């Protein structure tokens, strides 16, 4: 538990730094119209994918090879001679990246449109996503817009190949899909999967689906895995997929009363229980062998904390109960909850008391990441030490958790090890002490969210 705690934190810290430092890499953008996604590449490697709103059938987004020709922060919108200034009424949102005359990649003032085909040809993104992309690309960054209905997918959990088929959103017919399938036929895909795919592409497809020997599981229309099974109408997913995407481990599933089962040495987590417990939905297309989860999620330090009760891209909310489970010092009244004495107002959403995730992160000196492809918000919150009834905040310096030397001295005193032990380590009172080194020799536990280390004091 102790070692896995530090490994988990290193992964979180390093991932954040990679995103922050990647702006100097050579970038490229690829947009696939049928999947409704934008893929950002760095030095030829996929960095991240984002959901989009694209052109409706009467004004389709044009396929082709383009480049970013113009960038603007808080753009103005010209509409038939009228000028709409920057602000919440501006349909271009907070950023604009033009790729050809009249068409660009931009933010929006209707986040509910993301995932649909409703624009006049432009490429809409969530505002927080378009800012992220804008900061990592330059003028002349290539933009490739394509129409690929089929994609080969190798499942990292089952280690088997499957085919993803997307809807024919611009009614181009089955011939394009047949040509793409013929190209995939040259790979080592089982013939029964190719045969089933040939049958499916001749029929209307309303949602993305997989052709595989398992059950394709989609979260907010983005594929998680095909390593899932169905039993008595319930969908169970490989626990590693649930952990990687949702942050839901078998241990947490047990605490939330979410069912698990084991098959051939692999643990599977019940997705229906997960959705029922947190206000989501699961639908199962038995004929196509695909399951669809509709639920936006909040994680804390990569760990599942429950449903997001906010309006995605406008506000993110997590329940007060989830905040209490973080282990921080708190008090509560009818108006707000106070975390380390800092008051955060409570709101009632969907019959649950919630608080604003951004305000919580700001109050604690944390941050927030978003994976809009899956509809997941991940709060990066600080680690505290708890000694008796006292709390001590750690610091993150260049990817390493450290403790103020004065704080360490105080803890040593309280533990009865006192000045001699502290001095023997050669520590200076003005220095920072590596947390992992400091904890050696202490008896401690770490909570589920990596937010609290509870040090057990030895009796004198």
Catalytic site positions: 106, 122
Task: Report the distance separating Cα 305 and Cα 326, nearest Å.
Answer: 9
CA distances (Å), origin 67, targets 26, 37, 283: 13, 17, 40
Tokens describing residue 248: 């839901």
Mean pLDDT of 279-289: 93
Is 149:168 a contact under the CB 8 Å cutoff? yes
Task: Report the distance separating Cα 283 and Cα 285, nearest Å.
Answer: 7
CA distances (Å), origin 383, targets 174, 358, 426, 428, 457: 54, 17, 25, 23, 19
Q: What angle do CA 10, 16, 19 make, to 5 degrees?
A: 140
Of 260, 279, 278, 262, residue with least CA distance to 270: 260
| pTM for the predicted model, two decimal places | 0.87
Name the pLDDT band for 80 (thresholds 50, 70, 90).
confident
Q: What is the dihedral of CA 130, 132, 135, 136, to 10 degrees?
A: -110
3 state SS of 165: strand
Residue-wise pLDDT for 92-148, tens only, equals 999 999 999 889 999 999 999 999 999 999 999 999 999 999 999 999 999 999 999
CATH code, 2-146? 2.40.440.10
**Hunting for tokens 């489970």 — which residue is that?**
325
Is 294:281 a contact under the CB 8 Å cutoff? yes
Residue 370 reports pLDDT greater than 90: yes
Radius of gyration (Cα) for the chain, nearest Å? 25
**Hunting for tokens 């999947």 — which residue is that?**
35
Tokens describing residue 301: 């330090």
Mean pLDDT of 374-388: 94
3 state SS of 308: coil
The H or E element spanning position 146 is strand 142-146
Is 221:292 a contact under the CB 8 Å cutoff? yes
Cite the residue boundaries of each domain of the chain with CATH code 2.40.440.10.
Answer: 2-146
Task: Report the distance separating Cα 257 and Cα 40, nearest Å.
Answer: 38
């Amino acid at each position: 538990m102790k070692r896995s705690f530090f490994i988990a934190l290193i992964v979180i810290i390093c991932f954040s730094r990679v995103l922050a430092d990647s702006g100097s890499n050579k970038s490229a953008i690829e947009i696939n119209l049928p999947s409704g996604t934008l893929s950002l590449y760095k030095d030829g490697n996929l960095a991240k994918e984002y959901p989009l709103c694209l052109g409706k059938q009467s004004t389709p987004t044009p396929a082709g090879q383009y480049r970013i020709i113009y960038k603007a922060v808080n753009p103005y919108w010209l509409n038939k001679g009228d000028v709409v200034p920057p602000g919440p009424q501006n349909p271009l949102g907070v950023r604009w990246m033009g790729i050809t005359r009249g068409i660009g990649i931009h933010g929006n003032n209707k986040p509910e449109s993301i995932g649909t085909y409703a624009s006049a040809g432009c490429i809409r993104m969530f505002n927080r996503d378009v800012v992220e992309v804008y900061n990592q690309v330059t003028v002349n960054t290539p933009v490739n817009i394509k129409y690929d209905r089929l994609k080969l997918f190798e499942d990292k959990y089952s280690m088997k190949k499957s085919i993803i088929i997307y809807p024919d959103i611009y009614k181009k017919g089955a011939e394009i899909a047949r040509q793409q399938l013929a190209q995939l036929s040259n790979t080592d895909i089982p013939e029964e999967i190719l045969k089933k795919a040939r049958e499916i592409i001749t029929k209307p497809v309303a949602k993305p689906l997989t052709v595989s020997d398992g059950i394709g599981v989609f979260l907010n229309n983005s594929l998680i895995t095909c390593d899932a099974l169905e039993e008595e109408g319930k969908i169970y997913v490989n626990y590693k997929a649930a952990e990687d995407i949702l942050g839901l481990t078998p241990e947490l599933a047990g605490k939330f009363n979410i069912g698990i089962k084991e098959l051939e040495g692999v643990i599977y987590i019940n997705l229906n229980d997960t959705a029922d417990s947190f206000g989501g939905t699961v639908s199962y297309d038995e004929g196509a062998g695909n399951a669809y989860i509709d639920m936006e999620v909040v994680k804390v330090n990569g760990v599942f904390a429950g449903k997001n009760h906010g309006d995605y891209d406008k506000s993110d909310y997590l329940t007060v109960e989830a905040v209490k489970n973080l282990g921080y010092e708190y008090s509560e009244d009818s108006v707000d909850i106070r975390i380390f004495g800092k008051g955060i107002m409570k709101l009632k959403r969907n019959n649950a008391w919630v608080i604003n995730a951004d305000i919580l992160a700001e109050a604690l000196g944390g941050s927030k990441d978003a994976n809009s492809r899956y509809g997941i918000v991940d709060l990066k919150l600080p680690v505290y030490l708890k000694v008796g009834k006292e709390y001590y905040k750690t610091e993150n310096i260049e990817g390493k958790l450290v403790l103020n030397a004065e704080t360490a001295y105080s803890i040593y005193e309280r533990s009865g090890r006192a000045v001699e032990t502290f001095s023997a380590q050669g520590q200076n009172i003005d220095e920072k002490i590596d947390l992992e080194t400091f904890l050696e020799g202490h008896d401690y536990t770490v909570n589920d969210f990596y937010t609290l280390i509870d040090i057990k004091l030895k009796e004198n």
